[in-house]
Chains A and B, each alone.
Chain A
Amino acid sequence: MTAVEERPANPVGFGRMLRKEDARFVRGQGHYVDDLQLPGMLHGAVLRSPMAHARIVSIDTSAAEAHPKVKAVITGKTLESLKLAWIPSLSHDVLAVLATDKVRFQGQEVAFVVAEDRYAARDALELIDVEYEPLDPVMDARAALEPGAALIRDDIEGKTDNHIFDWESGDAAATDEVFANADVVVSQDMLYPRVHPAPMETCGAVAHMDRVTGKLVIWCTSQAPHAHRTLYALVAGLPEHKIQVISPDIGGGFGNKVGIYPGYVCAVVGSILTGKPVKWMEDRSENLMSTSFARDYHMHGEIAATRDGKILGLRVNVLADHGAFNNTAQPTKFPAGFFHVFTGSYDLQAAHCKVTGVYTNKAPGGVAYACSFRVTEAVYLVERMVDCLAAELHVDAGELRMKNLLRPEQFPYTSKTGWVYDSGEYPRALRLAMDIAGYEELRREQAEKRARGELMGIGISFFTETVGAGPRKHMDILGLGMADGAEVRVHPTGKAVVRLSVQTQGQGHETTFAQIVAEELGIPPEDIEVIHGDTDNTPFGLGTYGSRSTPVSGAAVAVAARRVRDKAKLIASAMIEASPDDLEWEKGRWYVKGNPTQGKTIQEIAFGAHSNVELPEGVEGHLDAECVYDPPNLTFPFGAYICVVDVDPGTGQVKVRRFIAVDDCGPRINPMIVEGQVHGGLADGVGMALMQVIAFDKDGNCLGGSFMDYLLPTSIECPSWELGETVTPSPHHPQGLKGVGESATVGSPPAVVNAVLDAIQVRHADMPLTPAQVWRAMQGSPFRTDLAIE
């Protein structure tokens, strides 16, 4: 027994509400892909390349096939016969499912074994004999385009170099002119190192092809089940109506679980070959070494300003390391994602960026880890450049920002790279963050400590996010427009069900989407069931990433609920025998204007809709509606972050003492969940700034292939976050919502880095700011992280 006070009543709509999904999670009753056990299920395991770049001379699978528990061994040759050895990547390249000609990164998939249990499958991998002819690996993006660099993609006809694309945004000539006439120009090279999202649950799938019905069911760790279904249909030629993709509970995604990985395809092929369900779950090393990484942007930034600190322009050149296959997941038109939001939160005269993508012998991917399609890199660039300018001008970094932030009256604001920022009150957010932090007092404390030789740093970042992709006419992924569907159905007794195209990975959709409907219809959220993650039972849509669930799917649900409300009005008018024009809505009820006692609740109307009430002409029975929401614009959440650190002058060890985060994501559906999302993103920022990096040695060995090498922040490195909030609704979202899932991951790394560099009084050093890195920076040698061991 427990002495427990009563839980507060749930809000009928927005407000703090405990999560509906938690009842199963705290009992250990969550249902993740690896929890699935089917009768006769077999287990798959992937043989991976030990080399970063090598020609495959031969693959001998005979010993593995002779293993008594092995049911099938699949190689690139097997897949070639099914035309599945290569599949389209998410960026109009191709991707090897199992290598046929060469291996192009360490950890690349070479063969797949299907066996009776997971141990036997692993045993059999040891029995496969692959002969490799090693080739020179290209591990440094800066050398990838040099003459004589080894050619990675000789599978592409006519390809003679490692170049993928050049892309630019903004006005180059206007920017050059601003720079030519500026009082002050500061330039800085910086690397946003390769990191990995590393969700606690790795990626995996269970595939079951029923030979009798021809139906293929795939339970998968997918953030985008509908997109997966369509891609399987397009690529494998399987009929789409016979494919069902189910995303059960997902143990974190962060962009790692957007794409289709070779292991999923192999599990499907394994099931087709054996007629049995096949489970494949990667282990942690496989997850870190082969699935979608993030960042790896070598950036050269320049900022132009007047002597008195008015920022005039930004110019950026980026060398983007995309790994061995161009498999970044972003809207087709934007090969560098939304990097061109690098103009940030400031009013500029001109801006220009150029991004060059190159192949290297590293794992493919590149857009992941809560980055909002590379807004992380953009925010890091601009917020570091502003600090570099502040150092050059010897002005306070907070004051410099305040002076240059966009003002509320400038919204909607068209940026120099073409974005239309929907709404913002930037100075208010920065002032609030500085007030919570006690900024002036912190600066006084810092001065006193400096006088004593102690290293204390205060770092600020102000970010503008761009999320909710996106308008169909501009945005698609592999030709699929980025609109999302939703269905709301009210049952006869007034309970409801809402079906979503998006897929939670911990965001709490079963709660928040019920609250969205509750806000519109006045049905208590506990009376609303949220169905998601099953393509047979939900409308089409592109899934959850890029903080798009609330701005796109949330809008779809709100609009569908409003359609239900409109229909309820007509039915209520028939039930009350009043004109619809005479009815008014209060949450949960239509009533006669001027006669509030004469009305019908949504529950009464729901029953009426299913009863023998005579309905007005043209009104069908039942109470339901659907919507496919094509967002008119993206949404632009923003925030002001302040980080306070102490650095040990003897060791370079950084202690994050405080972190203040003011976020504005418009109205908050459930403040508790929003705050939780921000907390998690802030931990990501501390991790990226201080410890996380996927590095390689010059031979192509991945140096971040386990949690012993790829360090993630624990409860010790994370402070007790201090949050604040402002509310600036989006003018184009039906409920004013903007989305928040990635804000803190996007906004926090520069605050931490700025704080550390402020402490040690160094203009720039690349992440991660490990003790060794900080110590070297203090000795005047900024240490590069892309080739950590030389």
Chain B
Amino acid sequence: MQVTMTVNGEEVTRDVEPRMLLVHFVRDELGLTGTHWGCDTSNCGTCVLWLDGEPVKSCTVLAAMAHGHSVRTVEDLEQGTVLDPVQEGFVREHGLQCGFCTPGMMMTARWLLDHNPDPSEAEIREAISGQLCRCTGYKNIVKAVRWAAEHRPIPAQATPDEMSAS
């Protein structure tokens, strides 16, 4: 079957099997390998990407279900050559080691900060609790998200005053 969707702002169309999972679609069909495949049962969260602005575990979404919808993956976090503060925070606070859970964690973190710009530690822990990390023990992921909260992106239309205040 033919599916068409917007991925990271660009419309893509592919012929795929109706049973193809979205995680395999973005990885194998589009070559966006930042989204990972980790468990098949929606437990690990390495496959988290956004579907219409909401984080989803793409191992339990069919590519067909994304037909006509909008997908955003980790490859879209960096704007131009400027890292998203979430990406910067993960580097600064050592929020990653092997890097396998990192894209999914960052996609959830970005969503959290878009909806709750100043989350508490408990709120961050709850937000990422559906995703597993085997390397970091989570503490530095929490710190990374807090770092991002404290270093918000400056809106493009910001005035010089606002820029200096942030």
Q: A residues within 8 Å of B by Cβ?
A: 1-4, 7, 18-19, 21-32, 34-35, 37, 118-119, 197-202, 249-252, 254, 281, 283-285, 505-508, 672-673, 675-684, 706-708, 712, 714-716, 718, 720-721
Contacts and interface: CB of A to CB of B under 8 A. Distances in A.
A28 B73 contact: yes
B138 A718 contact: yes
B134 interface: yes
Nearest to B37: A34
A720 B39 contact: no
Contact of A720 (B87, B121, B126, B128): B121
B38 A506 contact: no
Given A28-B75, A679-B140, A707 B151 contact: no
Contact of A284 (B17, B40, B141): B40
Given A3-B151, A680-B137, A200 B74 contact: no
A706 B39 contact: yes
Nearest to A21: B99
Interface string B9-52: 00000000101100010011001111111111101101000000
A21 B84 CA distance: 17
A715 B41 contact: no
Contact of B154 (A1, A31, A32, A712): A1
Contacts of B87: 26-27
A674 to B, nearest CB: 10
Contacts of A679: 136-140
Interface of B: 17, 19-20, 24, 27-28, 31-41, 43-44, 46, 73-75, 77-78, 82-85, 87-88, 90-92, 94, 96-103, 106, 121, 124-126, 128-142, 151-154, 156, 163, 166
Nearest to B100: A251
A19 B78 contact: no
Most chain B beta-carbon contacts within 10 A, residue among A24, A250, A708, A714: A714
Contact of B129 (A23, A24, A715): A715
Contacts of A251: 36, 98-100
28 contacts: A2-B85, A2-B88, A2-B153, A3-B154, A4-B151, A22-B96, A27-B78, A28-B34, A29-B34, A30-B34, A249-B99, A251-B100, A252-B97, A252-B135, A284-B38, A284-B39, A284-B41, A506-B96, A506-B97, A679-B136, A683-B133, A683-B134, A683-B137, A707-B41, A707-B43, A714-B132, A715-B128, A720-B121
Given A284-B38, A707-B43, A26 B135 contact: no
Given A1-B154, A283-B40, A716 B106 contact: no
Contact of B97 (A35, A508, A718): A508
A202 B97 contact: no
Contacts of B78: 27
A683 B138 contact: yes
B33 to A, nearest CB: 4
A29 B154 CA distance: 25
Contacts of A707: 39, 41, 43-44, 132
A676 B135 contact: yes
A24 B91 CA distance: 10
A453 B46 CA distance: 42
B88 A200 contact: no
A554 to B, nearest CB: 18
Contacts of A25: 96, 99, 102
A24 B19 CA distance: 31
A125 B11 CA distance: 35
B75 A27 contact: yes
Contact of B92 (A18, A28, A199, A721): A18
B7 to A, nearest CB: 13
Given A673-B94, A706-B43, 20 more contacts: A2-B151, A21-B99, A27-B77, A28-B77, A201-B38, A202-B38, A252-B100, A281-B37, A284-B44, A675-B94, A676-B140, A680-B134, A682-B137, A683-B133, A683-B138, A706-B40, A715-B141, A715-B142, A716-B125, A720-B142
Contacts of B103: 28
Contacts of B134: 197-200, 252, 254, 680, 683-684, 712
B99 to A, nearest CB: 3
A30 B44 contact: no
Contact of B28 (A19, A23, A37, A718): A37
A718 B96 CA distance: 16
Contacts of A3: 151-152, 154, 163, 166
Contacts of B124: 715
